[in-house]
Structure 1
Amino acid sequence: MPSREQLKQVIKIQSEIAKLGLDLGRVMQHVVEQTLSLVTAEGAVIELAEDGQMVYRAAAGIAEPHMGLRLDMSTSLSGQCVRTGEILHCVDCLTDDRVDKAACARMNLRSMIVLPLTFQDTTVGVLKAMSINVNNFSDDDVEAIGMLCDLVAASMYYSVKYDIEKLVHRATHDSLTGLANRSLFMDNLRNCHQNKSLGYNSLGLLMLDLDGLKQVNDVLGHQAGDAMILEFSKRLKGATRSTDTVARIGGDEFAVLLTPFGERDQLGTFTARIHAALTEPLSFQSHSLSIQASIGGAELPADGTDFLQLLDIADQRMYADKRRRKGDQLH
C-alpha cells in the first residue's frame, strides 16, 4: 500500500492535471516530473509505441536531455511491457538481459520499473521510473505509479475520445496553437542531427521568447494572452518555410528547427523575416497589443556538433537579445 504521503501527492497531481485540461502533452510532462518525487527516482519518461519503436514523448530528471529518443521495441524493456501489457521491474540493469543496455549506460541507470499505459484496451505506451541505484523501487512504489498511469490513461481518453489514431498527434502538438510541442521538436531535432541520409550536413535553430505576455495576462486577462499567443504562432508559421519545424515549447517559449539549412542560409535572414512579420500590432477588443519577440540562433556545425549544446547556445543568445532590447527601451 502506498504511504500516506504518496497518496496525498497523487491526489494533488490529479487536481493539477484537471487544470491542464485536454493538453495531453502537458499532462504527460507534468506526470513524469511528479514521478521523480513520488517514488524517489532520478529519471522518469513516458514512451509511446510508434511504428515498432518506443519514443520518449515526455521526460524528466536524468532522462530529460533524451527527449525524442527512439528505442527498438524488440530489444527494450518498454517494448516488452507494451507487448505483454504487464508491469515489469528491473532490479539491476547490468544483469538484466531484457533491457537496452546501451541506452541504460547513457543515463547510468541501474534499476527501473515500467508500467503499461492502456487506451481502449490497447497498451499504447509506458510510464517508466528510473534510478541510478540498484533495486531502488518497492512494490508500494509500483502501486503509486500505477495510479499515475490511470490519470494519464484518463487524459488520453478525454483528449481523443474514440480515435486512437489521433493519440500520438495530441501527445506531440500544443493544444492551443496546433504547433509542435517540445517532444516533437526534440524528436525532429534528434532525427535531423543523427540521420545523415537526410542530407542535412548543417541545420539552424532559433529560440524565441514572446515578450510582454505576462503583462498582458496580468492586465487584460488570459483571454487576451491566448489571443496574443495564437497571433504570434500564426505569424511565426507564416514567416517560416513548410519544411521547418515550428514549436511552442513552453508558455511564452517557441523554437524553430530550420531544415534544410545550407551554406547560403543565414540565421540573420530568418530572424529579420520573423521580426518583419511582427510589425503590425494585434487588435484585441479595444486594445492594441504590440507583438515582439526576443530571438537567439545557433547553427550546426559552425556553433558545435552536439545538438544539446546548440540548444543551449541559441537559448543564451535569445536571453542576451532580450537584455539588449530592454536596454534599448530604457534609452
Structure 2
Amino acid sequence: MPLSPFLRPDAPALDPATLMDIIALQGDIARLGPELGSVMALVTDRMLALTGATGAVIELAEGEEMVYRAASGMAQEQLGLRLAAGNSLSGLSVRSNSILRCDDSETDTRANREACRAVGLRSMVVCPLTHGTTGTTPAPGGVPSGVPDGVIGVLKLISPTVSAFDGRTEYILRLVSDMIAAAMFHAARFETSQLYHMATHDALTGLPNRALFHDRLRQGLEQARRTSAALGVLILDMDGLKTINDTLGHAAGDAALREAASRIRDAVTAFAVAAGSTGPTVARLGGDEFGILSAPLEDPAVLSAKAERVADALDAPFHFDSATLPLGCSIGQAVFPKDADIPDALIHTTDQRMYQHKRSRKGDKR
C-alpha cells in the first residue's frame, strides 16, 4: 500500500496555517458528500489561497477533449472551455497518470501554446484525478482511448508569470487531488458516465450546474456564429430564499429551490412545446440563481415572452408543511449578437439587467 502523502519522506514541510487550511478543506469536502459539482467549485476556489496560484481549474476528460468543469481566479471566464486532449499538458497528465509542471508555456513543447496565450497563462502544474483504482483498461463513458482506467481529469493551477510553482505546490496539489478522489470513492459503484452526470448537475434540483451551463453557452455561441443565428440568455434570482431559510430552516429553503426549479423547467418546456421549438437549457447557477439558455433563438421577442412565462410561474405561492410561502424572481436577459458577442460579456449584461429588475421591483413595493 502506498504511503499517505503526509508520511512520504520526501514531503516538503508545510506551515501550521497551511495544514489547518488543508484540514478545513477536507472537512468541507466531506460535508458536501455526493455533490461533485459543488466539491469541484469549492476546491478551485480554495486552491488560490492555499498555493498562491492566480487561477485554478478542474478539467474532465470527455471524448477527445479536456473540458473546464470548475474554474476560479484568472481561469473563471474560461468555464466550459473545450480543448483537444491530444496536444495539451492536461491531456498528457491524464494519459500518463502523473503530475506535470510547465515553467514556461512559451518554451515547453508539451503545452498548447495558443491555448495558453488565450487564457493568459505562462506557467502551470497539473495533477491527475482518479475515480476508484487505476489500471490499464480504457475507462468507459467517453474517456479518451489510452487513458488509464479511473483517471477522469486533472486539477490544474495556473499563473501569468514564469516558474510560479515548485515542489511545495505539487505536494499541496497531490494532497487536494487525493481529497477529490476520496469524494469520488463513494461513487465507485457508478459507471464513469454517471460520475460525469454527478459532476455537471446540481444534486438538489437535478438541473445542469453552472459549469455545464457555460459549456453549452460556449457551444451555442459557436453554432450561432456559424449559422448567423441569435442566442438568448435569461438569468433569474429567486426572491425571499434567505427569509425562508432564516424563519423556517434550510429544509424549507431546499424545498423552495426544488419547487422553483420544477416550475421554471415546466414553464420553459411548455413554452417550447407551444412554439414547436427545441427546449432550452435550464440550469441552477448556484444559491438562488438560475439560468436559461435558448440556442438558437428564432425571434429575440420570444425571449421576453419566455421571461414573463417564468415570472408568472414563480409568482404563485408555495405551500410547505402548514406554511404558505411567497415566491417570485427578478429576471435579466441578453441576446447574442445584439447585446454582446462573447460568453462573459453576455452573462455580465444579463446579470446587470437582472439587478436592475430587482431594484425596480423593490422600489415598486415601497
TM-score norm. by structure 2 comes to: 0.87
What amino acid maps onto 2:267 in structure 1?
A
Deviates more, 1:182-191 or 1:5-14: 5-14
Partner Cα distance (1:320, 1:196) in 2: 27
Q: Which runs of 4+ in 1 moved over 6 A?
A: none
Alignment of 1:13-32 (within 5 A): 13-32=25-44
Question: What residue in structure 1 maps to residue 296 of structure 2?
Answer: 260
Question: What residue in structure 2 maps to residue 286 of structure 1?
Answer: 322
SS in 1 for 2:236: strand
Question: What residue in structure 1 maps to residue 144 of structure 2?
Answer: none
Question: What residue in structure 2 maps to residue 3 of structure 1?
Answer: 14
Question: What residue in structure 2 maps to residue 202 of structure 1?
Answer: 230
| 1:159 Cα deviation from its structure 2 partner | 4.1
Question: What residue in structure 2 maps to residue 248 of structure 1?
Answer: 284
| 1:260 Cα deviation from its structure 2 partner | 2.4
Partner Cα distance (1:182, 1:34) in 2: 18
Deviates more, 1:233-242 or 1:153-162: 153-162
8 Å CA contact retained: 1:24, 1:156: yes
> Residues 92, 70 of structure 1: CA spacing in aligned structure 2 closer, same or farther, 3 A cutoff?
same
Question: What residue in structure 2 maps to residue 277 of structure 1?
Answer: 313
What amino acid maps onto 2:364 in structure 1?
D
Question: Where does structure 2 lack aligned partners over 5 or more consecutive residues?
Answer: 1-11, 135-149, 270-277
Question: What residue in structure 2 maps to residue 49 of structure 1?
Answer: 61
| 1:90 Cα deviation from its structure 2 partner | 0.5
| 1:265 Cα deviation from its structure 2 partner | 4.0
Question: What residue in structure 2 maps to residue 218 of structure 1?
Answer: 246
Question: Where does structure 1 lack aligned partners over 5 or more consecutive residues?
Answer: none
| 1:162 Cα deviation from its structure 2 partner | 3.6
Cα deviation code 1:199-229 (max 9, x no counterpart) = 4611000010011000000000001001100
Aligned length: 330
| 1:2 Cα deviation from its structure 2 partner | 4.2
| 1:266 Cα deviation from its structure 2 partner | 2.6
| 1:135 Cα deviation from its structure 2 partner | 1.0
Residues 1:236 and 2:264 aligned together:
yes
Cα deviation code 1:295-329 (max 9, x no counterpart) = 01000112122221111111001011111111111
Cα deviation code 1:30-56 (max 9, x no counterpart) = 101111111110011000000010000
Partner Cα distance (2:170, 2:244) in 1: 43
Cα deviation code 1:59-114 (max 9, x no counterpart) = 00000000011111110000001111011011111100111111110122111111
8 Å CA contact retained: 1:23, 1:159: no
| 1:160 Cα deviation from its structure 2 partner | 5.5
What amino acid maps onto 1:58 in structure 2?
A
Q: % of aligned pairs identical?
A: 44
Partner Cα distance (1:36, 1:192) in 2: 30
| 1:256 Cα deviation from its structure 2 partner | 0.4
Question: What residue in structure 2 maps to residue 163 of structure 1?
Answer: 191
Partner Cα distance (1:140, 1:317) in 2: 44
RMSD over equivalenced CA pairs, Å: 1.4
| 1:197 Cα deviation from its structure 2 partner | 8.2
